[in-house]
Amino acid sequence: MLFEDPVIASRFLTLLTLSFHIIYATIGVGVPLMIMIAQWIGIRKNDEHYILMARRWARGFVVTVAVGVVTGTVIGLQLSLLWPNFMELAGQIIALPLFMEVFAFFFEAIFLGIYLYTWDRFEDQRKHFFLLIPVALGAGMSAFFITVVNSFMNAPQGFDIINGQLVNANPIAAMLNPAMPTKVSHVLATAYMTVAFMLAAIAAYHLIKGSNHVYHKKALHLTMKVGLIFAIAAAIIGDFSGKFLAEYQPEKLAAAEWHFETEEGAPLLMYGVLDENNEVKGAIKIPFALSILAFSAPTAEVIGLNEFPVEETPPLIVHYYFDLMITIGVFMIVLSLVYWIGIKRGWAFVKATWYRWLIVLGGPLSFLAIEAGWWLAEVGRQPWILRGIMTVEEAATSSDYVGFMSILFILLYIILGIGTVVVLRRMFKNNPVEKELKASQGGDNA
Amino acid sequence: MTLEILGITVLWTFLFGYIIIGSIDYGAGFFNAYSIITRKDHILSNVIQRYLSPVWEVTNVFFVFFFVGIVGFFPDTAYYFGTIFLIPGSIALILLAIRGSYYAFETYGSKGHKGYAFMYGLSGLLIPASLSIVLTISEGGFVFIEDGNPVLDYWALFTSPLSWSIVILSIVAVLYISAVFLTWYANKTGDVKATNLMRRYALIWALPLIITASGIVYELKFHNPEHYERIIDLWWMFGLSFILWIAAVWFIWKRKKYGTAVWLMFGQFALAFYGFGISHYPYLLYPYLTIYEGFTNQAMAISLVIVFILGFALLIPSLYLLFKLFLFDKNYLKGRQKKE
């Protein structure tokens, strides 16, 4: 199949590249902010631990940035190679945010280079902090613009098609599409949340492994707090996203919720499985919750999947992605909230090893939630590449070799994935915090 | 100036930028690997690493800028080139990915791994070769339309002397550009041995460069006579480029004014590259696609130009800061770290 049908092969390769890229992209968006916060606290409190934290995070960050940059370049060019018809149309109408994304990336790349190679250059820590602002800003802006492109694909506007010709193009209107506010804010909030929990997992792991250094405790407190704030933000924005879907992409919401019949006071389904007759088994039914999620009113009418032609309905598998994303999100909010209250109130169990293991687990789980969320968003708009306008079949390349190229890219991602893990492990194993603190006790940056 | 001309000029300039800084980068990787194999790495590695580290990511952006920009200004190129460029494009992407990530792995992870350095050097020569195929394809004669879709004739491409000449030129140009630049850079750092070694490489690659470049013009005479005619019309640009080449080689030969030699080299390539571009006008893909047919709508073109100007207002000062801190900073060049 993969080698015969360019459409399936192109979908597979795009899925693969994006699923791999978003791990690094999420880190790329979130870590600069965390470095900036640590550097800021370090300056405010005059605490060398936080300054060191900023540096150690930055050092690991470089390796992930490298892979993020190259996989980002890959997906950038693959868009034209695998979806030439889509890009021809998109170039007419959505090239503006794509172009702006490159500028944001450019800006970030320049200042990241400067920041990384001037570590020991300035006596004044504030100069290092100022260099981080454009890095964090550039990272956030490039996530912003690329998500604008994606939201356009979900809610295209800003042009008319008359007799197959695109006319009345309005690039600004295309950018300000209805999907944009919720998409962009959800992407940013979840990236910051995920990175905070990833760094929390690292700190918790060190504490479990016996390093009882105050550095790790500070790192854990900081990251759990930041993680909690963004996790709550992500949940609130997630609710807005549900309302957006109900209005503009009802078929995606209906597929995610296995909501077949249009009804008032619709219930929300959690978990469960679907048998071959499309009967839902073993799901937890929360009455009225879907109507509340969709329209903030318990009796509101929610459109069911049966209202749509079969060839335009998304695959029903997206329900599992939805469950996975929501469950992890809620779990992380509870985990970090209990931790935070526990620290304030002096509850002993939040410092217990089993609790710390849960925090360690939270890092990979957050990444899983990111993946699940993107699969929900992307698979959920099948069969469209531009909802209501162009299907993926019309957009894919006519070239026959995508299947073979996919094999090469699989190999590439395996090599890059293993390489990242090996290099990062070696970097930090050989150079624990204790050693680095002792070395800096020579007094060059107190 | 029409928006079409403005658009292609901007993109051509960015491609030129990528070719120059990309060549320095690719060549540096190759010379680094070569010096390890010939056990001269103690001479070169320091100089090369010090230049490459802060700029490798910026180099990559020039490339991204070009292919995002061309889709923006000329969306039809996404359809034509996207469809036919799948294999060479994918191979170039995989090499770029290996190269970029290994650079970081090697620099920040495990220093001095020979296998990495070798891969890094080799991929640096293969990337320009695989990317330069797009220049060959755009000359026409390798693409035909089947069932309304463009298809690349690989057999014609691989048996054409023109495509191989362009591949060889791209490799030789990488080595020459890089060697001239690194001669100047090594001289700035005060490293006499590295300077002499790079100077030798620059002189070695100077002659093959001119031979392959002239060979391509000769082959175009048979492959695409229309393009050849236009090149002859622009003879003065190529003649001037040739004079600049002589001047640059002369300075390097005489071991003086390496900085001037670098500028002359930039000028030489700029003249040849723009001359080639202008003579290709108005075609993007001969004979299917011209810059007028493939151009985007008016509203998008204007907004892209505005964003471009604003973006540059942001980038120029930032790039200046980068160069000031690394390329032109005396302490950084000499490998000293001084607190400021």
pLDDT for A445 equals: 42
What integer is the mean pLDDT of A245-267? 84
Residue A365 or residue B59, greater confidence: A365
Residues with Cβ within 8 Å of A279's Cβ and at least 6 positions away in sequence, in order, are none
Helix (H, G, I), strand (E, B) or coil at B102: helix
How many Cβ contacts (< 8 angstroms) between chains A and B?
Answer: 226
Share of chain A above pLDDT 90, in %: 30
Query: What residue in A sits closest to B106 (Cα-Cα)?
Result: A423
Query: Residue A69 and residue B60: Cα distance in Å, rounded?
Result: 8
Residue A223 or residue B146, greater confidence: A223
pLDDT for B98 equals: 84
Both tokens of residue A185?
């804010």
DSSP H or E stretch at residue B10: helix B3-37
Query: Residue A48 and residue A436: Cα distance in Å, rounded?
Result: 11
Q: Tokens 């800028």 sit at which residue?
A: B65
How close does chain A come to B190, measured CA to CA in Å? 21
pLDDT for A1 equals: 60
The answer to whether the CB atoms of B61 and A105 lie below 8 A apart is yes
- Tell me how many degrees the CA angle B275-B132-B2 measures, rounded to the nearest 5: 40
How far is residue B250 from each of residues A265, B20, B195, B206, B231, measured CA to CA in Å? 85, 21, 16, 11, 27
Tell me the Cα Rg of chain B.
Answer: 20
Amino acid at A130: F
Q: What is the DSSP letter of A47?
A: -
pTM greater than the 0.80 cutoff:
yes
- Around B211, how many Cα atoms within 13 Å sit in the side-chain half-sphere? 7
The answer to whether the CB atoms of A69 and B57 lie below 8 A apart is yes
- ipTM for the assembly: 0.84
Contact yes or no for B151/B143 (Cβ under 8 A): yes
Q: What is the DSSP letter of A296?
A: S
Average pLDDT, chain A: 86
Amino acid at A389: I
Residues of A in contact with B315 (CB under 8 A): 103, 106-107, 110
Contact yes or no for B120/B36 (Cβ under 8 A): no
pLDDT for A444 equals: 44
How close does chain B come to A173, measured CA to CA in Å? 11
pLDDT for B323 equals: 76
Query: What residue in A sits closest to B338 (Cα-Cα)?
Result: A121
Contact yes or no for A406/A12 (Cβ under 8 A): yes
- Tell me how many degrees the CA angle A191-A194-A195 measures, rounded to the nearest 5: 85
**B111-140 pLDDT, tens per residue?**
656 777 787 788 888 888 888 888 888 877
**A395-417 pLDDT, tens per residue?**
777 777 888 888 999 999 998 89
Contact yes or no for B276/B238 (Cβ under 8 A): no
Query: Residue A429 and residue A56: Cα distance in Å, rounded?
Result: 12
The answer to whether the CB atoms of A423 and B96 lie below 8 A apart is no
Mutation choice for A interface testing from B52, B86, B289 by most A CBs within 10 A: B86
Crossing angle between the packed helical segments A48-82 and A125-154, to the nearest 10 degrees: 30
Alpha helices in A83-213 (DSSP H): 84-93, 95-117, 125-154, 171-175, 180-208
The answer to whether the CB atoms of B101 and A171 lie below 8 A apart is no
Contact yes or no for A268/A290 (Cβ under 8 A): yes
For chain A, the residue count is 446
The answer to whether the CB atoms of B67 and A415 lie below 8 A apart is no
The answer to whether the CB atoms of A95 and B68 lie below 8 A apart is yes
Contact yes or no for B186/B194 (Cβ under 8 A): yes
Contact yes or no for A375/A321 (Cβ under 8 A): yes
Per-residue pLDDT of chain B (340 residues; tens, 9 = 90+): 688 888 888 888 888 888 888 888 888 888 888 888 887 777 777 777 767 766 777 777 888 888 888 888 888 888 888 888 888 888 888 888 888 887 777 776 666 567 777 877 888 888 888 888 888 888 777 777 777 777 777 777 788 888 888 888 888 888 889 888 888 888 887 777 778 888 888 888 888 888 888 888 888 888 788 888 888 888 888 889 889 888 888 888 888 888 888 899 999 889 888 888 888 878 777 777 777 877 777 888 888 888 888 878 877 887 788 777 776 666 666 665 554 4
Query: Residue A390 and residue B290: Cα distance in Å, rounded?
Result: 26
How far is residue A438 from each of residues A45, A116, A204, A212, B218, measured CA to CA in Å? 20, 22, 22, 16, 67
Nearest to B101 among A66, A82, A109 (CB): A66
pLDDT of residue A266 exceeding 60, the answer is yes
Both tokens of residue A350?
């939040």
Share of chain A above pLDDT 70, in %: 97
How close does chain A come to B321, measured CA to CA in Å? 8
pLDDT of residue A441 exceeding 60, the answer is no
How close does chain B come to A112, measured CA to CA in Å? 8
DSSP H or E stretch at residue B58: helix B41-73
**B145-175 pLDDT, tens per residue?**
777 777 777 777 788 888 888 888 888 888 8
Helix (H, G, I), strand (E, B) or coil at B192: helix
Q: Among positive and negative, which fits the CA dihedral A121, A125, A131, A132? A: positive
Query: Residue B336 and residue B340: Cα distance in Å, rounded?
Result: 12
Residues of B in contact with A399 (CB under 8 A): 83-84, 86-87
The answer to whether the CB atoms of B300 and A96 lie below 8 A apart is yes
Both tokens of residue B323?
């160069």
Longest dimension (CA), chain B: 66
Contact yes or no for A20/A71 (Cβ under 8 A): yes
What integer is the mean pLDDT of A317-332? 91
pLDDT of residue A34 exceeding 90, the answer is yes
Nearest to A70 among B73, B96, B109 (CB): B96
Query: Residue A77 and residue A84: Cα distance in Å, rounded?
Result: 10
Both tokens of residue B326?
């690394």
- Compute φ and ψ for B152, nearest 5 degrees: -90, 130
The answer to whether the CB atoms of B149 and A170 lie below 8 A apart is no
A 10 A CB-CB count for A381 gives 23
In order, the DSSP letters of B265-315 are HHHHHHHHHHHHHHHHTTEEETTTEETTTT---HHHHHHHHHHHHHHHHHH
For chain B, the residue count is 340
- Listed in order, strand segments (DSSP E) in chain B are 143-146, 149-152, 283-285, 289-290
DSSP H or E stretch at residue B183: helix B161-188
**A151-201 pLDDT, tens per residue?**
988 888 888 888 777 778 888 888 888 889 999 999 999 999 999 999 999
What integer is the mean pLDDT of A219-248? 90
